[in-house]
Structure 1
């Protein structure tokens, strides 16, 4: 009987950490859902290329994270040499992710682009299976199929009516999940050894260096109206720093595949924001696609009813 009690106590001890991870990723999704709003407001108000907006967003986030680390994590900023390649690749993928994300928002709108990124968990789950041996369960396979089908529907490729989604918009939309998956996977590689703000400081720093050479050939968006500065501040503090910090925190308690699919709840937040602010609604087939993606999220999070002694949170 003693071993059984020990197993039950361990399961109870793990539950708070798992719940903390779920709440953190959901908070990240809610924060990320606001980025499309701010980007759309900024790019429709001033002539700012997607590459420029990505650069200034990453530069401002880097300075904020550096300030946080300077106050709370000064002694932890040093990175082991073996981890620099991972952080470097993470920063590169982060910079490219923001460029493709900005283009997708500008060309397709926040709701469509957010659902297009839902292909990301498919990449993460497969890589997580190969790299870390995370189980590829029947539920995950079902979620993958739903997500792929839903993403195709939302892309507009299956629609028989004229759509505002262009070929360039579709291409930009499908670049988002690839770059998003890359930084998620690379972040998982180093998230257990450093504090989230330390990882993000270095990743955003690399992203700035990657995008900096591209700025010299672009026209300056200055002067900027005061209201745009307010939207930019929201993009940095809420959408970027808040979202990325919460997701990096959640990665410490959840497998990469689970946290990545849970982050797709951003679709719900974005749809709600877009409808409340602009009355933006998806077409019928796009709505079906979004529903399929959401079903994939629910399928992943459903758990079989296990006996207390057999339960093991985050075992998927």
Structure 2
């Protein structure tokens, strides 16, 4: 396995894993979740625009604009909207399980769209990651007499759409990264995604501290994470990258325990072990060597 690609994806997983830290503080300041999503995309767009301008990576072919608009609509607008609807209708726990079906979606879509082999080890790793997230999210409610999980057909569908659109980050990345540098892609995708979100955003008054948190969140969890992730995706196949990135909920839970005293519980630790084991299998099993040099530098 390409060690550099592994490090890039691990760095991205860590940066995505601290999204909740920023969110907790920003929500306390009265900013809604959808507004946080909007500003995260908007501020990240500014950073990618500066990067692309400095590197003279702004040009795209007119024929590719449709693909980039689709990327913004599917992977920003639809992803955020569907995940919010899933949380509303089936609750946070089940919505999280449905979201992290993404590695399974990636494995099968990679086979259909990218022609990547669906090996037994990939299938096992996907099953382990989904099982791990299920333990983290549903274990307490199913086995410890916690609140019952609410089932709603629309909410279940929305959660599956969230997992699918999240997975399409990987597929779009593998399909268009060979044409453009990462900053170029996000210069065009992020503003479209933010604009499609705009009709659903209600803007709240914000303090300078809130603005700083929003800008920092965009810099770390969007600009930094996506830059690192797509640099890694050029060196690893999509399924391996998706499984490694599933370390994100493990990072989030550790940070939440450290900073906010949120207990993980026995099922959470069991789920984390499954996820880490899946990542180790991917790392030790190796991946397809990269054939392209990253365009991030």
TM-score scaled by structure 1?
0.78
> Are 1:209 and 2:207 an aligned pair?
no
Match in the other structure for 2:262: 280
1:90 and 1:187 in contact (8 A); partners too: no
> Are 1:90 and 2:66 an aligned pair?
no
How many residues in Structure 1 have an aligned counterpart in Structure 2? 283
173 and 295 in structure 1: CA distance in 2 versus 1, 3 angstrom threshold? farther
d(CA) in 2 for partners of 1:232 and 1:165?
32
Shift in Å at residue 166 of structure 1?
6.2
d(CA) in 1 for partners of 2:192 and 2:226?
15
Shift in Å at residue 82 of structure 1?
3.8
* Larger Rg belongs to: 1
Residues 97-116 of structure 1: pairs in structure 2 closer than 5 A: 97-99=79-81, 108=92
Match in the other structure for 1:141: 123
1:108 and 1:164 in contact (8 A); partners too: no
- SS of alignment partner, residue 302 of structure 1: helix
2:237 and 2:288 in contact (8 A); partners too: no
Shift in Å at residue 155 of structure 1?
3.2
Of 145-154 and 195-204, the range deviating more from structure 2: 145-154
Shift in Å at residue 104 of structure 1?
8.1
Q: Mark the runs of 5 or more structure 1 residues left unpaired by the alignment.
A: 1-14, 305-310
Q: Mark the runs of 5 or more structure 2 residues left unpaired by the alignment.
A: 292-297
Equivalent position to 2:274, from 268, 286, 292: 292
Of 62-71 and 224-233, the range deviating more from structure 2: 224-233
Match in the other structure for 2:49: 66
80 and 131 in structure 1: CA distance in 2 versus 1, 3 angstrom threshold? same
d(CA) in 1 for partners of 2:216 and 2:160?
26
Match in the other structure for 1:228: 210
- SS of alignment partner, residue 248 of structure 2: helix
Shift in Å at residue 67 of structure 1?
1.7
TM-score scaled by structure 2?
0.83
